[in-house]
Structure 1
Amino acid sequence: MLTSETIRTAVAAALREDAPWGDITAEAAIPAEATLRVAVVAREPGVFAGGAVIDEAFRQVSVAVTELAPEGTRFVAGERLAVVEGPARAILTAERTALNFAQRMSAIATLTARFVELAGPARIADTRKTTPGLRAFEKHAVRVGGGTNHRFGLSDAVMVKDNHLAALGVAQAPASELTVALRGLRERVGHTTSIIVEVDRLDQVEAVVNAGVDTILLDNFALADVRAAVELIAGRVTVEASGNVNLETVAEIAATGVDVISVGAITHSAGVLDLGLDEL
């Protein structure tokens, strides 16, 4: 998903955005022959993600990166994650681009790891609530943190949500009509395509399971209703829960027996982790 070409293109765009006509501060203040040897240092504990992006950001300005920590490294405040050595002007020009990516990706990996630790056997999955243009980076960071990726985009799987059911006119329809409408999906897509259906009421569950879908997504269910749905489904399809998932609620949701818990917060609310570039 996060290919070398994706990294190269995004980093090049970020460097152009930051210095479209060069870095006038570095060029005016720093002698051309000056060199620097610095380290990427953690200011707080976390899980490291984005090493390949750091490497690419400095590579594009002809600076070498060494001692790069492996992806997924758990670190403490003050720990060194990479060493950067080369022309001072180039390092100063690429510094912010490299750190912006790594700080964001490490924050996502760190938050994901916290959810995974609390969820026990249930898998933690991301959503499409990602930064436009940076989805591959953010979903990569989720995997680094021990989570799993939901569909990458609208082309990956059939996922029928409440508004799809409303558009089909079956959101409030009798169970038999809902089952028939969903069975028609299987006839219109390839046999390898996964079908996921979101429900927001317990009385929809049996109708959806009877339609032969692959996954049923329980959206914003009360805990008692999640437990009831899991018992009703009895392993016939994969059960996913979403909605109102946070670090305080995820363990209780996992304890209901669902297979997957999808969490938008691990990407849209992760913030950034504090990393800096310190002289050695």
Structure 2
Amino acid sequence: MLPIGDGALDALLAQDAPAGDLTTHALGIGSRPGRISFAARSDMVLCCAEEAARLLERAGVRAALRHGSGERIAAGTVFLEGEGPAGGIHLAWKVAQTLVEYASGIATRTRRIVEAAQAVAPGVAVACTRKNFPGTKEISVKAVLAGGAQMHRLGLSETLLVFPEHRVFLDGAPDFHGLKRRHPERKLVVEVASVADAVAAAEAGADVLQLEKLAPDAVAEAVRRVAGLDPVPLVAAAGGITEANAAAYAATGCAVLVTSAPYSAGPTDVQVVITGSGVAS
């Protein structure tokens, strides 16, 4: 599973305590030993528990990870424990808790969409877009993978995806075959908004047809219309796909469901318990 580097984790700690933890310092309890535990308040697909453990360790707390990213855990399950000075516990506490809550929310909703789609079409792929909240790319990607989906594209640098918004700057139809000759290692994806446009793009050389906000019956029609071409392009349904309609889209015969829905998932709820373990010597 994709790791998030210590540099990024240190930045999260520094963001929350840019000049240290004033309250713990003022109370004079920073050196006192204690324990911290993290548990799921509801059933969830866990994500970023490894990073939560590393946040504890970066703050000087010994961590014991009980469950990892991608695992489905039941309400009440303790997935992480730590032992160390109160100063470190309080420094890492809320950052670690919040990171797991938001990442697990994305992972849990991703898993619901994947399961709804694959219950109808076991071979269909679910791919998440790059529309994560800015600045959260690493966390969002890890959560998508933990939920059992894949990334549709990580960013602009790695894929050929022609939108209608590109075509408004062209004189005439784009030269899809020329694009493919100049970038032979890349699949050419073309976004279309109608069945007719999908067929035209396929005949012009598109490798993947991204059908934007078409109803399931229209997606099924596009799949049928391009099935006789050689080669047969992949069909990806995109726009407004959630756990509520994933099965209907999966049943169309398309190869991929493209969704941004997991990024709007609410955070899961994680219970944190902190206890003292006597006065430090």
State the TM-score, normalized to the length of structure 1: 0.90
Q: Are the aligned partners of 2:50 and 2:65 in contact in 1 as well (CA < 8 Å)?
A: no
What letter matches 2:186 in structure 1? Answer: T
Give the match for residue 36 of structure 1.
Answer: 34
Q: Are the aligned partners of 1:7 and 1:56 in contact in 2 as well (CA < 8 Å)?
A: no
Q: Secondary structure at the match of 2:82?
A: strand
Give the match for residue 27 of structure 1.
Answer: 25
Q: 2:266 aligns with which of 264, 268, 271?
A: 271
1:262 aligns to 2:258 (yes or no): yes
* CA distance in 2: counterparts of 1:31 and 1:99, whole angstroms: 21
Q: Deviations over 1:55-82 (max 9, x none)?
A: 2211211111103312212112111011
Q: Are the aligned partners of 1:215 and 1:240 in contact in 2 as well (CA < 8 Å)?
A: yes
Q: Are the aligned partners of 1:124 and 1:261 in contact in 2 as well (CA < 8 Å)?
A: yes
Give the match for residue 242 of structure 2.
Answer: 246
Q: Secondary structure at the match of 2:143?
A: helix
Structure with higher helix content: 1
Give the match for residue 72 of structure 2.
Answer: 74
* CA distance in 2: counterparts of 1:102 and 1:169, whole angstroms: 49
* CA distance in 1: counterparts of 2:154 and 2:102, whole angstroms: 19
Give the match for residue 278 of structure 2.
Answer: none
Quote the offset at 1:49 in angstroms: 0.7
Q: 1:159 aligns with which of 146, 158, 161?
A: 161
1:233 aligns to 2:226 (yes or no): yes
Give the match for residue 221 of structure 1.
Answer: 214
Where structure 1 has 5 or more consecutive residues not aligned to the other structure, the ranges are: 171-176
- Change in CA separation of 1:161 and 1:125 when aligned onto 2, cut-off 3 Å: same
Q: Secondary structure at the match of 1:251?
A: helix
* CA distance in 2: counterparts of 1:114 and 1:61, whole angstroms: 34
What letter matches 1:161 in structure 2? Answer: F
What letter matches 2:152 in structure 1? Answer: H
Q: Deviations over 1:216-254 (max 9, x none)?
A: 101111222111101112170111001121222111111
What letter matches 1:52 in structure 2? Answer: E
* CA distance in 2: counterparts of 1:48 and 1:58, whole angstroms: 17
Where structure 2 has 5 or more consecutive residues not aligned to the other structure, the ranges are: 276-281
Quote the offset at 1:124 in angstroms: 1.1
Give aligned-pair identity as a percent: 32
What letter matches 1:251 in structure 2? Answer: A
| Structure 1 runs, 4 residues or longer, greater than 3 Å off | none
* CA distance in 2: counterparts of 1:135 and 1:42, whole angstroms: 24
Alignment of 1:165-184 (within 5 A): 165-170=167-172, 177=173, 181-184=175-178
Give the match for residue 173 of structure 1.
Answer: none
Q: Deviations over 1:27-86 (max 9, x none)?
A: 112423311112111111101110221122112111111033122121121110111111
Q: Deviations over 1:196-227 (max 9, x none)?
A: 11000111122211233221101111222111
What letter matches 1:186 in structure 2? Answer: K
- Change in CA separation of 1:59 and 1:257 when aligned onto 2, cut-off 3 Å: same
Give the match for residue 7 of structure 2.
Answer: 9
Quote the offset at 1:89 in angstroms: 1.4
Q: Secondary structure at the match of 2:116?
A: helix
Q: Are the aligned partners of 1:127 and 1:262 in contact in 2 as well (CA < 8 Å)?
A: yes
1:103 aligns to 2:131 (yes or no): no
Q: Are the aligned partners of 1:2 and 1:137 in contact in 2 as well (CA < 8 Å)?
A: no
What letter matches 1:109 in structure 2? Answer: A
Give the match for residue 89 of structure 2.
Answer: 91
Residues matched between the structures, number: 268
Q: Secondary structure at the match of 1:55?
A: helix
Alignment of 1:195-210 (within 5 A): 195-210=188-203
Q: Secondary structure at the match of 1:168?
A: coil
Quote the offset at 1:139 in angstroms: 1.1
- Change in CA separation of 1:253 and 1:163 when aligned onto 2, cut-off 3 Å: same
State the TM-score, normalized to the length of structure 2: 0.90
